[in-house]
C-alpha cells in the first residue's frame, strides 16, 4: 500500500500528544495555543485537527490516559499485611509519580480547565485511586495495625504529602529515589501510628 506524500499519521499522533503534554505542564493549558503545539511538532495548526477534534479533547485524553495508567499500576494488596500494603502503596506512589512529572502536574493543576462533563470522569477516577489508600487504612485500623482517628483525613494527608514530592525532587539531586522513598515511608508509618 503506497503512502500519501507527507503522510505520517502513525508518528504525528503521538508527537502531538507529547508536545501538548510538555507545553501544558510548563505553561498551563489556557496559556498554550494550538499554533504553539503545532510548531513544536513541526506541522501547521490545521493539521492538528486530524488527531484531535479540539483543544479540550487533547487535555482530557492526556488526563484520562494518566489516570488509567495509575489505576492499572497500583499494587495489589491481596495476601499482604496491613503494614506491607501501606508500604507498597507509598513506595509505588512515589516511584510512579516521579517517572511522570508532567502528567502528574497536569492531572491536578488543570482540573478546572476541563468541561464539567470531562471533569466528572476524571474526578471519579481520582477518587477511585484515593479509595485504594483509604481502604488500606480502614482495614489496618480494624486489624489494630494503625492508630488513625479519621482514615479519610489521613488519606488526604498522605496523598498530599507524597504528591508534594514532585514540586521539589529532581533526579540527579543530592537524594536518590530510594532515599526519598525511605524517608517518606518512615514519616507515613509513624504518622499513622504503625
Residues in touch with DNA (CB under 7 A): 4, 6-9, 12, 32-36, 38, 42-47, 49-51, 53-56
How far apart are CB 68 and DNA at their closest, in Å?
Answer: 23
Of DNA, a copy of itself, none, which one does residue 163 interact with (CB within 5 to 8 Å by kind)?
a copy of itself
Minimum distance from CB of 39 to DNA (Å)?
10
Give 137: exposed, middle or buried? Use CB within 10 Å, 0-12, 13-18, 19+. buried
Cell numbers at 164, concatenated: 508534594
How many whole angstroms separate alpha carbon 134 and alpha carbon 153? 9
Angle 194-76-69 from CA coordinates, rounded to 5°: 115
Which residues are CB-neighbours of 107 under 8 A, at least 6 positions away? 63, 66, 67, 122, 126
Among DNA, a copy of itself, none, residue 144 binds (CB under 5-8 Å by kind): none
CB of 106 to DNA, least distance (A): 15
**49 binds, options DNA, a copy of itself, none, Cβ within 5 to 8 A by partner type:** DNA
26 binds, among a copy of itself, DNA, none (CB under 5 to 8 A by kind): a copy of itself
In angstroms, what is the minimal distance from the CB of 54 to DNA?
3
Which entry of DNA, a copy of itself, none binds 33, CB below 5 to 8 A by partner kind?
DNA
The residue among 82 and 165 lying less far from a copy of itself, judged by its C-beta, is 165
Which of residues 51 and 89 has its CB atom nearest to DNA in the complex? 51
CB 86 within 8 A of CB 194: yes
Q: Answer for the pair 41, 19: CB distance below 8 angstroms, yes or no.
A: yes
SS3 63: helix
Minimum CB–partner distance for residue 79 and a copy of itself (Å): 28
Contact criterion met (CB below 8 Å) for 80 and 182:
no
Beta carbon nearer to DNA, 50 or 131: 50
Amino acid at each position: 500500500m503506497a503512502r500519501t506524500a507527507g503522510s505520517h499519521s502513525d508518528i504525528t499522533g503521538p508527537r502531538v500528544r507529547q508536545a501538548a503534554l510538555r507545553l501544558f505542564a510548563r505553561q498551563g493549558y489556557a496559556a498554550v495555543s494550538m499554533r504553539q503545539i503545532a510548531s513544536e511538532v513541526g506541522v501547521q495548526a490545521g493539521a492538528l485537527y486530524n488527531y484531535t477534534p479540539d483543544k479540550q479533547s487533547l487535555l482530557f485524553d492526556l488526563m484520562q490516559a494518566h489516570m488509567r495508567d495509575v489505576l492499572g499500576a497500583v499494587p495489589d494488596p491481596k495476601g499482604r499485611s496491613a503494614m506491607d500494603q501501606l508500604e507498597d502503596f507509598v513506595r509505588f506512589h512515589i516511584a510512579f509519580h516521579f517517572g511522570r512529572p508532567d502528567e502528574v502536574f497536569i492531572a491536578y493543576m488543570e482540573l478546572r480547565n476541563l468541561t464539567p462533563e470531562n471533569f466528572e470522569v476524571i474526578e471519579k477516577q481520582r477518587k477511585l485511586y484515593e479509595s485504594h489508600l483509604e481502604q488500606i487504612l480502614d482495614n489496618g485500623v480494624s486489624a489494630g495495625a494503625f492508630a488513625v482517628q479519621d482514615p479519610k483525613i489521613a488519606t488526604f494527608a498522605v496523598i498530599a504529602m507524597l504528591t508534594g514530592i514532585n514540586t521539589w525532587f529532581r533526579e540527579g539531586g543530592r537524594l536518590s529515589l530510594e532515599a526519598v522513598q525511605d524517608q517518606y515511608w518512615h514519616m507515613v508509618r509513624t504518622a499513622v501510628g504503625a
